[in-house]
Chain A
């Protein structure tokens, strides 16, 4: 059956586009740069398919972690529309971006986004996808077996890890192959322990985290958790080769670990690889002391249009901005819309509620706001090196490793 479908699709595609201008590359297609791949990329293709008949071809360019290359030199070859996972890149690039028209601009002015996307009353981007980056997925059966509960405080989490370790269960699978997994972890600790320091760094014109004592304290807490012997499934080296879906598979597919920190968008990966679909649980990052608010780090992809945009690119932006556009992706899971709390799976509904709830300590992803400093050559690398230095080696190595990390960060800050 499948073979036939593939063949038929191939024949249809050949007939439709055999000599059409877009295969020749002559007609001007709308080029959309995205950082997604795998199931997310396929879901986005479904979103595009759901937009109805378009008068122009759409070319999706997956750039992964190198998405900032979408803003190369100014030339016609640049992607028209960029689904930017690092809205922190918007302020420095404003000069190259189209201003959003008034009928759309309101969405860019929603809370959290306006700081990044709006300048002097003009909006330069629209949120497409929101991400809850403080989620921890776990296997309830393991927790039951070890007679433990999901933690509500950071210290409980450390105790929980110890309890699981004692029973021979590796507590954490860490997808350190994706740098953002590590920065998200750190951001949650920093936001939970020192929200005002977090905020100050996020809005600073010249952020120098290496000189912020609260930042150093957060690094120490984080390093202490990673340093616990037996904390990481597969040890440091395996963690370094694992991307976040691999870590998910370690927990839910091969059942070699109990928990994985992964955002809401891990949901479809969990669903497709879980050995037991009913053995999936979720908690969010615990608070860091009695009375303290639990941290909620928010990320997302914003749509920006590179200037000058063609009419076709504007048309695509308008279509993608309609509330119904992401429906196919929402249906396949792992997609949150800013401000919307219904229509998701039970787990994602919980996350959406937390995003919408008043009084939570909600902040936009710090590394995404730090620009280059938060990226591959900056914080990602610093945290990777920290992980290598402390991973499962016990608390004694932590102070020195944190010092080295701060030095390294200082060098990147220049």
Chain B
């Protein structure tokens, strides 16, 4: 075939095509895969014990396999514990809903959040044991000591026994809600703030208001954030264990039994290991079911729209609300903050009383002020356990960062085949919600066998492994939200991997800081992982607190002092980094 024009002749020679057409494959270098090896090793600390537990759950005493271990669920006590655990998951989901509504209110009433923020952050920073102890102080049944009892009985003459049968649930749920609500509200609020104003305007121009607007705009755009929040809360709800131990008086602990506690009592009283493994599997199934529904958004590779580099024209921003609305927001925010910070005030004020006065009278009493409760707390080894806790938390955080950052990069931009990427993400989602009961027993045996019993370093490693799935998911979505131009340029350049990693450092610092701060604080506040895996001796700070709280009211001064000392570091860390933490938690979920 020829073409002739302006004296130039072109000739095109054709060639017959043979064979079927072959689609092109992108080049997949093997290098990035190496980034996943540390994570594979660390995750095997969880994966192998989980497999062992699952096998044990189905292995019968005679060596064959079957379902009869699950007959343990026919045990009324275990069944009761399952019901309570499911109820806790429901509480967690209800808290997500309440938190969302509060976030919407605070979004509509600017001014609210400036006061509310620190008041909501502090409860999230302190451990479950501390918030449990605080609420037990507040709801103490003696009107001389318990705040609520004192107020109620002065208003109505007598007061119900708040820690008594049935009503202790109120105390438990209050403590849980106090801990988590701030987290939920802050994250939803960040998500709402990130909705681009032009999208809101378009929706408004189309005449969508009220519920229809929510369905069309806010709910779908916030789905990824809802996923993160639901995931964290469901895990926390299923982990409820130490809260029951510290809040519920002995005779009611049966009513308050949860699967985690039931499992613990079963393993320690020498129940058949197959049956306890079956309990662990049931616990896991509950969480996994809820989590899979709750975090469908997490499986999507990209949540993100490109981050705008140029700030939007300020004249196009959300119109400033009227002065009146701002004033209402300001007042409401102030009042809610005062109310929300009250438990922390109760705790600190109790700690500032002598052990005698704290045992006799409430935090508002003016007698016996001083630091002698701190002195008493110091005499039971509080300082030594502080040092151990610093060590464990630091080891866990450093190991986690070193392993999680490259892994998250690999999953987000490392060029994994789509199907493999999906599998890896799903595995991490499942691991993130796996309750510690699923891997505690085999891991404990392995640590014993390795002669590392009581080693804080080993415990730090286990914590890093337990924190890895959530960290990777979080960092992955942060990476995935990178401006595609940046990534594309980096991938085409000659030194592409290092260039991409350099953009990580620049663009994703908030997510990295969020992971570091959250891990440090979670490990610092941990009770259950250390207690179940390394035994009582290696969960230093929380254990001192727990031991002291065994005779609760008589020791309330010492308990409060130990709780205050234990809470200073996480509270300061959280308050300092909260904005970054929220940005880090939500960066990947920008709509």
- In the bound assembly, the distance between CA atoms of A273 and B448 in angstroms comes to 44
List residues of A (274-317) whose CB comes within 8 Å of B's CBs. none
Contact B448 A45 (CB under 8 A): no
Interface residue stretch chosen among B50-58, B312-320, B423-431, B454-462: B454-462
Tell me if A101 is interfacial: C-beta within 8 Å of chain B. Answer: no
B149 CB to nearest chain A CB (Å) = 10
Which B residues, 499 to 531, have Cβ-Cβ distances below 8 Å to chain A? none
Cβ of B543: which chain A residues have Cβ within 8 Å of it? 61-62
Q: Which residues of A contact B376 (CB under 8 A)?
A: 42
A158 to B252 alpha-carbon distance, docked (Å): 29
Asked if A249 and B537 make an inter-chain contact with CB atoms under 8 angstroms apart, the answer reads: no
- Quick one: closest B residue to A18, CB to CB? B387
Q: Is A237 an interface residue (CB 8 A)?
A: yes
Report if B444 contacts A (CB, 8 A).
Answer: yes
| A9 within 8 Å of B (CB atoms) | yes
**Which chain A residues (237-279) contact chain B, with CB distance < 8 Å?**
237-238, 240-246, 248-250, 253-254, 269, 272-273
Residue in B142, B268, B270, B448 whose CB lies within 8 Å of A250: B142
Cβ A42 vs Cβ B379 within 8 A: yes
- Do A77 and B553 touch across chains, with their CB atoms under 8 A apart? no
CA–CA, A269 and B458, complex, Å:
40
Residue numbers in A under 8 Å from B558 (CB-CB): 38
- Minimum distance in angstroms from B386 CB to a CB of chain A: 8
Closest to A22 in B: B384
Q: How many inter-chain contacts with C-beta < 8 Å in the A-B complex?
A: 194
Q: How far apart sit A131 and B536, CA to CA, in the bound complex (Å)?
A: 26
Question: A51-102: which have CB < 8 Å to B?
Answer: 59-66, 68-69, 72-73, 75-79
Contact: A77 with B444, CB < 8 Å?
yes
Q: Quick check: is A192 within 8 A (CB to CB) of the other chain?
A: no
Q: Min CB distance, B465 to chain A, in Å?
A: 17
Give the docked Cα–Cα distance between A113 and B548 (Å). 30
Interface size counted on chain B using CB atoms at 8 A: 66
0 or 1 for each of A12-24: is its CB under 8 Å from B? (1 = yes): 0110011000011
Whose C-beta in chain A lies nearest to the C-beta of B77? A377
Given contacts A6-B378, A31-B537, A240-B249, contact A73 B164 (CB under 8 A): no
- Closest CB of chain B to A43's CB: distance in Å? 10
Is B267 at the interface (CB under 8 A from chain A)?
yes
B-chain residues with CB within 8 Å of residue A6 when the two chains form the complex: 371, 374-375, 378
Which residues of the partner chain B approach A33 to less than 8 Å between Cβ atoms?
Answer: 536
Closest B residue by C-beta to A383: B251
Report yes or no: A381 in contact with B164, Cβ–Cβ below 8 A: no
Contact A45 B380 (CB under 8 A): yes
Q: Kindly state whether residue B538 has any CB partner on chain A within 8 Å.
A: yes
Question: What are the residues of chain A within 8 A of B445 when measuring CB–CB?
Answer: 73, 75
A243 touches B552 (CB 8 A): yes
* Given A77-B444, A246-B142, A250-B142, CB of A13 within 8 Å of CB of B164: no
B387 with A243: CB separation less than 8 A: no
For B373-398 the 0/1 string (1 means CB < 8 A from A) is 01110111101100110010000000
Q: A355 → chain B, closest Cβ, in Å?
A: 24
Q: Does A178 have its Cβ within 8 Å of any Cβ on chain B?
A: yes
In the bound complex, CA of A240 to CA of B165 (Å): 8
Q: How far is the CA of A9 from the CA of B387 in the complex (A)?
A: 13
Q: Is B300 an interface residue (CB 8 A)?
A: no
**What 1/0 flags go to A219-251 for Cβ under 8 Å of B?**
000000000000000100110111111101110
Give the complex CA separation of A9 and B251 in angstroms. Answer: 39
Q: Is A25 an interface residue, CB under 8 A from the partner? A: yes
Tell me, yes or no, whether B355 is within 8 Å of chain A by CB.
yes
Which one of B380, B447, B537 contacts A41 once the chains associate, using CB atoms below 8 Å? B380
Residues of A within 8 A of B254 (CB): 381
Please give, as numbers and ranges, the residues of chain A lying within 8 Å of B379 by CB-CB distance.
42, 45
A144 within 8 A of partner (CB): no
CA distance A315 to B16 in the complex (A): 93
Instruction: Select the residue from B144, B451, B536 with max chain A CB neighbours within 10 A.
Output: B536
Residues of B within 8 A of A240 (CB): 161, 164-165, 249, 251-252
A41 contact set on B, CB distance < 8 A: 380, 547-548
| A177 on interface, CB distance cutoff 8 Å | yes
CB neighbours of B179 from chain A (8 A): none
CB <8 Å contact, B380 and A75: no
- Asked if B163 lies at the interface with its beta carbon under 8 angstroms from chain A, I say yes
Contact between chains at B249 and A23 (CB < 8 Å): no
Inter-subunit contact A245/B554 (CB<8 Å): yes
The answer to whether the Cβ of B6 comes within 8 Å of any Cβ in the partner chain is no
Question: From B269, which residue of chain A is reached at the shortest CB distance?
Answer: A68
Q: Is A167 an interface residue (CB 8 A)?
A: no
Task: Flag whether A134 is at the interface (Cβ < 8 A).
Answer: no
- Contact of A37 with B251 in the complex, beta carbons under 8 Å: no
Known contacts A33-B536, A38-B551; is-contact A272 B380 (Cβ 8 Å):
no
In this assembly, does B61 line the interface, its C-beta being within 8 Å of a C-beta of chain A?
no
B91 contact set on A, CB distance < 8 A? none
CB of B242 to closest CB in A, whole Å: 13
Whether B554 lies near A75 (C-beta < 8 A) is: no
Residues of B within 8 A of A65 (CB): 250, 550
Nearest Cβ on chain B to A175's Cβ, whole angstroms: 10
Picked from A3, A18, A75, the residue with its CB within 8 Å of the CB of B444 is: A75
* Contact, CB under 8 Å: A241 / B164: yes
Check B549 for interface membership: any CB of A closer than 8 A: yes
Q: Are B268 and A72 in contact (CB under 8 A)?
A: yes
How far, in whole Å, are A273 and B456 apart by their CA atoms in the complex?
Answer: 39
Is the Cβ of A72 less than 8 Å from the Cβ of B267? yes
* A388 to B165 Cα, complex, angstroms: 10
Complex CA–CA separation, A248 to B551 (angstroms): 12
A179 lies within 8 A of chain B by Cβ: yes
Give chain B residues whose Cβ lies under 8 Å from the Cβ of A246: 142, 552-554
**Judging by beta carbons under 8 Å apart, are B391 and A178 in contact?**
no
* Contact (Cβ within 8 A) A68 B249: no
The answer to whether A13 touches B548 (Cβ under 8 A) is: no
Q: Does B372 contact A (CB under 8 A)?
A: yes
Question: In the assembly, what is the distance between CA of A63 and CA of B374, in Å?
Answer: 22
Residue of A nearest to B385 (CB): A23
List residues of B (154-171) whose CB comes within 8 Å of A's CBs: 160-161, 163-165
CB distance from A5 to the nearest CB of B (A): 7
Does A23 lie within 8 Å of B534, measured CB to CB? no
Inter-subunit contact B251/A76 (CB<8 Å)? no
Tell whether A29 is near chain B: CB-to-CB under 8 Å: yes
CA distance A243 to B559 in the complex (A): 15
Determine the chain B residues whose CB is within 8 A of the CB of A23 once the complex forms: 384, 387-388, 391, 456
Which residues does chain B contribute within 8 Å of A79, judged by CB atoms?
536-537
Question: Is A10 positioned at the interface, with any CB of B under 8 Å from its CB?
Answer: yes
Q: B250's contact among A5, A14, A178, by CB below 8 Å, is which?
A: A178
Given contacts A25-B456, A243-B553, contact A76 B451 (CB under 8 A): yes
Contact A37 B550 (CB under 8 A): yes
Decide if B326 is an interface residue (CB 8 Å cutoff).
no
Contact B457 A25 (CB under 8 A): yes
Within 8 A of B (CB), among A327-369: none
Enumerate chain A residues within 8 angstroms of B554, measured Cβ to Cβ: 38-39, 243, 245-246, 248-249, 269, 273
> Given A2-B370, A240-B249 in contact, is the A24-B360 Cβ separation under 8 Å?
no
Determine whether the beta carbon of B378 is less than 8 Å from that of A42. no
Known contacts A24-B456, A45-B381, A249-B553, then 7 further A-B pairs from the complex at CB < 8 Å, ordered by chain A residue: A61-B537, A73-B445, A76-B454, A240-B164, A246-B553, A254-B142, A381-B254
- List the 4 closest pairs (A to B, CB-CB), nearest first: A62-B547, A245-B554, A37-B550, A69-B268
Residues of A whose CB lies within 8 Å of any CB of B are 2-3, 5-6, 9-10, 13-14, 17-18, 23-26, 28-29, 31, 33, 37-39, 41-42, 45, 59-66, 68-69, 72-73, 75-79, 176-179, 234, 237-238, 240-246, 248-250, 253-254, 269, 272-273, 372, 376, 380-381, 384, 388
Question: Which B positions have Cβ atoms within 8 angstroms of A?
Answer: 141-142, 144, 160-161, 163-165, 249-252, 254, 265, 267-270, 355-356, 359-360, 370-372, 374-376, 378-381, 383-384, 387-388, 391, 444-445, 447-448, 451, 453-459, 534-538, 543, 546-555, 558
Q: List 10 A-B contacts (CB under 8 A).
A: A10-B383, A17-B387, A24-B457, A25-B538, A38-B551, A39-B555, A61-B543, A62-B536, A77-B453, A250-B142
